[in-house]
């Protein structure tokens, strides 16, 4: 158990809908990262937050947004969903902004039908 909790574990929704994925980082970790992994693909970095502030942005679509709350949990919002958004979405946390080990959650499997 990494200490990072992602909910829900599975999500099935229709095209055009909006969903929210939630991540609770390890206790004390200030950094949260979000990744998307399509079938048999590598991890695409989406966005990073550190202590509530956006720190780095990757290949995140405009239809996607995220935030980190004062209690350090984070949410990834995906809207106007398309079939191609079906993927595993991972959250990771680390104590600092960089140069430290990251701990990954077990992911949310999103299926868009």
* Residue span binding another protein (CB under 8 A) among the ranges 12-20, 69-77, 78-86, 98-106: 98-106
Could you tell me the sign of the dihedral formed by the alpha carbons of 21, 26, 32, 35, in that order?
negative
Does position 19 bind another protein by CB under 8 A?
no
Output the smallest distance, CB 85 to another protein, in A. 17
Buried-state track 76-104, b at ≥16 Cβ within 10 A, e below 16: bebeebeeebbbbbbbbbbeeeeeeebbe
Interaction residues for another protein, span 43-72 (CB under 8 A): 43, 45, 48, 50, 55-58
Q: Which is nearer to another protein, 41 or 80 (CB)?
A: 41
- Contact call for residue 42 and another protein (CB under 8 A): yes
């Amino acid at each position: 158990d990494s200490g990072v909790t992602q909910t829900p574990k599975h999500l099935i929704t229709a095209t055009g809908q909006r969903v929210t994925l939630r991540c609770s980082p390890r206790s004390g970790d200030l950094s949260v990262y979000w990744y998307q992994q399509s079938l048999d693909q590598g991890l695409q970095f989406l966005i990073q937050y550190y202590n509530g502030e956006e720190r780095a942005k990757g290949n995140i679509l405009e239809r996607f947004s995220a935030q980190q709350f004062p209690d350090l949990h984070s949410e990834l919002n995906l809207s106007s969903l398309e079939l191609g958004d079906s993927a595993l979405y991972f959250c990771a946390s680390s104590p600092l902004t960089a140069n430290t080990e990251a701990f990954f959650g077990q992911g949310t499997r999103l299926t868009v039908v």
